[in-house]
Amino acid sequence: MKQENIRNFSIIAHIDHGKSTIADRILELTGAITEREMKDQLLDSMELERERGITIKLNAVQLKYNYKNNDYIMHLIDTPGHVDFSYEVSRSLAACEGAVLVVDAAQGIEAQTLANVYLALENDLTIIPVINKIDLPNADVPKVKQELISTLGFSEEEIILTSAKTGEGIKELIETIIEKVPAPSGNPNDKLRALVFDSFFDPYRGVVALVRIVDGKIKVKDKIKLMASGATHDVTELGINSPKQQIKEYLTAGEVGYICGSIKSISDIKVGDTITLENNPATEKLPGYKPMKPMVFCGLYPVESNRYTDLREALEKLKLNDAALEFIPETSEALGFGFRCGFLGLLHMEIIEERIEREFNIDLIATSPSVIYKITKTDGEIINIDSPSKMPDRQKIKLIEEPYIRTNIYVPSEYIGQIMELCQNKRGTYINMEYITAERVNIHYEIPLSEIVYDFFDKLKGVTRGYASFDYDLIGYKPSDLVKMDILLNGKSIDALSLIVHKDFAYKRGKAIVESLRKLIPRQLFEVPIQAVIGSKVISRTDIKALRKNVLAKCYGGDITRKRKLLEKQKEGKKRMKMVGNVEVPSEAFLAVLSMEEE
C-alpha cells in the first residue's frame, strides 16, 4: 500500500457522547466486521469497560475503504476517555494525523471534550468535528454547532452530523477523514522509529506492543532497542488488527500494528517509548515520552488476612497489563499485611479495586486515598510521603507542600453559586470563569488534589444535579498549613485511619469523621470512645454506647440446630469486621473519611 493512501486517526469525545458506537458503525461500514460478528461496542472488550461506558485499554484496528476508485487503509486508534489516562490518550493521538471530535447533540461541549481537543492540538492533528446522536428527541443541533464555532473556532461547513444509532452521516465521515486527514509523512527508507502507544500482556506471547511506524521498516527477527529504557528484544511476531490479528512479514512507515518479542513485563516496553533497530539505530527518539507517575495512593488490605498472598498475585497479574499501577508491601497495625498502591487517579484506583474484588474474588479494605506530600525537614532534607503514617514529627517539619490542580468545571450558569461554595469548602482559590455560551460556563479554580480525592466528584454531581462535567490539570506543588490527624478508638490510635488535613479544616473534618465512625461501628460489649486528635490535642470526641442486647431469648422446644444457625449467621456477619485492639470495626469504616457528612 502506498503511504499516501494510509490514514491514521482517533476518535475523541466526552464520556457517553457516542465514541464507541461511532467506531462500531465505521467498522461495519468498512466491512471490517459483519453485523453478525458485532458485539455491541466491539472495541470496549473488558466487562468493566462496558459497564462503566468508558474505554480503559486502547486498541487499534486496520480498515479498508475504496474511495473514488482508490483503495485506502485506515487505522482507527481507540483512546481512553478519562483524565486519569490523559498520558495514554496523548500517546495514541501522537500515533495519528487526525482526530474525529464527537460531541453529543443534546449535551454539547463538556469538560473532556475540551481536554481532548487540547491534547489533539498539541499533537498537531487535523480535527474533524462531529455532532452525534442527532436522532435524539432532545438534540439541539444549532446550539451545539454554535458552541463548536464559538469555543473551538470551527466553521459551520466543517461540522458533520451523525447518528451512530441509525448510521446516518457515517459514510460522509469516513470520506471526510480520507479527504482531510493528511497521509503519514515518515520516510520508509530512514532508520526505524516506531512509537509504542499501548501494550497488553498475552499469556502465550508475552507483552504485545501496539506501535505506529513513524520512519523505516520493521521485520520479524529484527533485533530492536527501546530508546528510552535501553532494553533490547528480538521481534518474534508482528501484524495488524483487522480487528482479528493478522500476522505480517513487516510493517513500514505510516502503518499501525502490533509486535511481540517474548517480552516478559509490561514495564520493559513503556508507552511513549521509541523502538529502533539495535544494529542500525536512529539518532533521536520521538518526542513526548515521560514515565507515568501515580498521583493517588491508598492502602489495600484483604478483609481476610489469610488472603494476603492471593492479593499479591492479583496485583502482579493486573500489573502485567498496567504499567501505571504501583504497589509495595505495607503493614498496618490495624489491618495487618497489605499493599501501598499508586494509581494515576481516582478512576484508575476504583477500577483496580473493583477488578480485584470481581475477577479475583478478594474482599478488600481500602484506606482513604492520599496524594504525595513534599516535606522539607528542619535539617533541610526534602522527603516525599504518600501516606499519613510516614509523616515526620511536627517539630521536625519546616514546610509541607501539596499538589494542586486547576479545574475545568463545565456547568449551566445557574449552578455557579453552588460550584463556588463547593470549591471554597475544598480550599479552592478562584481563578476565573469563561462563558462558553450565554448559559454555560467553564469555571477555573485551583484546588489541592487531596481535596479532589475525597468526595469532590460526588459533591459536584450532587450540587449540580448531574449537570456539571469536570476535568483538571496538575499545576504543581504549593505550601500548605497541613497537620496529621489521628483517630483513636478506645484510646488506641488506628494507623489506617490517620489522615493529613489542613489546619483550618481540621476541626470540621475531625468532627465529621468521628460522627461517621460512630454510625458505622456497631455497638460492642463495652463503651467505645472515638476521638480525633492532632498531636495530643483532642479535637472531637464521641462514644459508641455499649451493646445492651444480643441474646437468644427463648430456647425451648429443644430446637438447638436452628438456634445454632442463628449464631453461625451472626458469626458470618462478623467476617467483614477487623479486630482493632479489642474493637470490631467493619471494613467500610476505613473509608469513613470519604463518606462523612459535612454540614
Partner 1 sequence: MSIYIHIPFCTQICSYCDFPKVLKNEKLIDKYLISLEKEIQEKYKNEVVSTLYIGGGTPTSLSLKQLTTLFKIIEKINLSKDAEVTIEANTEDLTIEKLKLLKKYVNRLSIGIQTFNATRLKELNRKININNLKNAFKHFDNINIDLMYGFKSQTILDLKEDLEKIIKLKPAHISTYSLIIEPNTLFYINKYNKIDEDLDRKMYDHIIKVLKQNGYNHYEISNFAKEKFESRHNLVYWNNENYYGFGLGASGYLKNTRYENTRSLTNYLNGKYIMNKHKLTQNETIQNEFMLGFRKVNGINKIEFKEKYNINIDDIKEIKELLKLNLLLENQTNIYINPNYLYTSNEILIRLIDLDAGLC
Interacting residues with partner 1 (CB under 8 A)? 523, 525, 545, 547-561, 563-564, 567-568, 570-571, 574, 582
For partner 1, which is the closer residue by CB, 503 or 564?
Answer: 564
Q: How far is the CB of 548 from partner 1 (least distance, A)?
A: 4
What does DSSP assign to residue 453?
I
Calpha distance 436→409 (Å, rounded):
11
What is the identity of the amino acid at 150? S
Question: Smallest distance, Å, CB 563 to partner 1?
Answer: 7
How far apart CA 399 and CA 479 sit, in angstroms, is: 7
Q: Which is nearer to partner 1, 288 or 522 (CB)?
A: 522
Looking at the Cβ atoms of 479 and 573, the one nearer to partner 1 is 573
Query: What are the backbone angles phi and psi of residue 176, rounded to the nearest 5°?
Result: -65, -40
CB of 585 to partner 1, least distance (A): 15
CB closer to partner 1, 26 vs 580: 580
3-state secondary structure 104-115: ECCCCCCHHHHH
Residue 150 in grid coordinates: 464559538
Residues 151 and 7 sit within 8 Å (Cβ to Cβ) = no
489 neighbors 582 (Cβ within 8 angstroms): no
Q: How far is the CB of 527 from partner 1 (least distance, A)?
A: 12
| Residue placing its CB nearer to partner 1 in the complex, 153 or 557 | 557
- Report the alpha-carbon distance of residue 408 to residue 397 in Å, rounded: 33
Q: Name the nearest CA neighbour of 499 among 596, 410, 409, 354.
A: 596
Q: Min. distance of Cβ 490 from partner 1 in angstroms?
A: 14
Shortest reach from residue 526's CB to partner 1, in Å? 10
Burial class (CB in 10 A: 0-12, 13-18, 19+), 158: middle
Nearest CB to partner 1, comparing residues 40 and 572: 572
The least distance separating partner 1 from the CB of residue 547, rounded to whole angstroms, comes to: 5
Report, in Å, the least distance between residue 577 CB and partner 1.
11
Rounded to an integer, what distance in angstroms lies between the CA atom of residue 101 and that of residue 14?
Answer: 9
CB of 553 to partner 1, least distance (A): 5
Asked if residue 102 lies in contact with residue 22, where contact means CB atoms within 8 angstroms, the answer is yes
User: What distance lies between CA 174 and its chain's CA centroid?
Assistant: 30
Contacts 24+ apart (CB under 8 A), 242-248: 242/32, 242/61, 242/62, 242/63, 243/27, 243/32, 243/33, 243/42, 243/43, 243/59, 243/61
Nearer to partner 1, 246 or 570 (CB): 570
Taking the least distance from each CB to partner 1, the nearer of 382 and 546 is: 546
Residue 576's CB is within 10 A of a number of other CB atoms, namely 15
3-state secondary structure of 278: coil
Task: Please say which residue, 383 or 555, places its beta carbon nearer to partner 1.
Answer: 555
| Least distance to partner 1, CB of residue 581, Å | 12
List Cα–Cα distances, 50 to 15, 43, 55, in angstroms.
12, 10, 8
Grid coordinates representing 220?
A: 520479524
Which of 328/553 has CB closer to partner 1? Answer: 553
